[in-house]
Amino acid sequence: MDFELAVFLEVLPALAAGAVVTAQLALGAALLGLVFGLLGGLARVSGNRLLRGTSLGYVLIVRGLPLLVILLFLYYGLPSIGVLLSAPTVAVLALSITNGAYVTEIVRAGIESIDRGQMRAARSLGMSYPLAMRRIILPQAFRRVLPPLTNEAITLVKNTALVSVIAISDLLRAGVDAMTWKANTFSPFAGVGLLYLVLTIPLLVLNRTLERRYRIR
C-alpha cells in the first residue's frame, strides 16, 4: 500500500474540481432524464398507439445498448454525418437518454401501480385525462417510485465516470491524472472513492426525507 497523507491532501483540490464537474453532469442529466422519463412513461400508458410504440422502442433500444457505446457513438459517430457536439453536451445527452429510458419504465410501473379506480373516480368527476394524471395519478405514483428513482440517480452519478473517455475532466479523470502526476495510486483513488460517496450518500438521505414527507397516511 502506498497511501501517503501528504499526497492525498495535495491532490484533493484537483479531485474536488473533478467532483464538481461530475456533480454538474449528473444534475443536468438527472433533470433532463426525469423529463424524458416522465414523457416516456406517460407515452407508455397512453391510449395512442404511435406514442406507445415510440416510447417502447426508445426503452428497448437504449436499455439494450451499453452507455459507453452510446457515448462514443454520439462523440465519434455523429460528426461523420455532420453533427458536431461538444464533449459536455454529448455527456449530458448520453447520460440523460440512458437515464430517461430507465425512468420511463419506473414511471410506467408507478402509474400502473395506482388502482384503476382512482382514474375512474377522477374522470367521473369531470376531470380530463391530463388533469386527472397531473392531480391524482402522478402525485401518488411519484411517492411510490421514490426508492427506484433514487437508485437511478445513484446509478447516474456513478455512470458519469464513463465520460472520462471523451476527454471530460470529471472526478475519475482527475484521479487518474493525479495518479500519473504523483506516481502514487492509492492516495488519489482513496480521494476519488471518498468524493463519489460524498455525492451519492446525500441522495439516500434525500430519498428518506422525501419518503417521510410524502408518505400516504
Partner 1 sequence: MSTTPPMLRIRNLHKHYGSNPILRGIDLDVARGEVVVVIGPSGSGKSTLLSCINFLEPFDTGEVRIDGEPIGWCGGGEGSRVRQSERDLDRLRASVGIVFQQFNLFPHMTVLANLIEAPTQVLRIPETQARARALALLEKVGLSGKAGAYPGELSGGQQQRVAIARCLAMQPKLMLFDEVTSALDPELVGEVLAVMRRLRDEGLTMIVVTHEMGFARDVADRVVFMDGGVIVEQGPPAQLFHRPNARRTREFLGKFANTDERATTLASAPPTGDPPGPLPPSNLVSP
| Of 86-94, 103-111, 117-125, 190-198: span binding partner 1 (CB under 8 A) | 117-125
Query: CA 15 to CA 59: how far, in whole Å?
Result: 34
Measured from the CB atom, the residue of 21 and 137 that comes closer to partner 1 is 137
Pattern of binders to partner 1 over 56-95, x per CB under 8 A? ----------------------------------------
124 binds partner 1 (CB under 8 A): yes
Shortest separation between residue 49's beta carbon and partner 1, angstroms? 16
Among 118, 151, 169, 185, binds partner 1 (CB under 8 A): 118
Among 129, 180, 181, 202, binds partner 1 (CB under 8 A): 129
34-39 long-range contacts (CB < 8 A, ≥24 apart) are 34/100, 34/103, 35/100, 36/96, 36/97, 36/99, 36/100, 36/101, 36/103, 36/104, 37/99, 37/100, 37/101, 37/102, 37/103, 37/104, 37/106, 37/107, 38/103, 38/107
128 binds partner 1 (CB under 8 A): yes
**Interface with partner 1: number of residues (CB under 8 A):** 22
Closest CA to 143 of 92, 209, 188: 209
143 binds partner 1 (CB under 8 A): yes
- Residues 101 and 59: beta-carbon distance below 8 Å: yes
135 binds partner 1 (CB under 8 A): yes
125 binds partner 1 (CB under 8 A): yes
Query: CA 104 to CA 49: how far, in whole Å?
Result: 16
From first CA to last CA, the distance across the chain in angstroms is 52
Measured from the CB atom, the residue of 124 and 180 that comes closer to partner 1 is 124
Shortest separation between residue 87's beta carbon and partner 1, angstroms? 42
127 binds partner 1 (CB under 8 A): yes
Shortest separation between residue 118's beta carbon and partner 1, angstroms? 6
Query: CA 31 to CA 100: how far, in whole Å?
Result: 9
Query: CA 179 to CA 68: how far, in whole Å?
Result: 23
Query: CA 142 to CA 144: how far, in whole Å?
Result: 5
Measured from the CB atom, the residue of 64 and 126 that comes closer to partner 1 is 126
Q: 149 to 208, contacts with partner 1 by CB under 8 A? A: none
Write out the residues near partner 1 by the rule CB under 8 A: 115, 117-118, 120-129, 131, 135-136, 139-140, 143, 214, 216-217
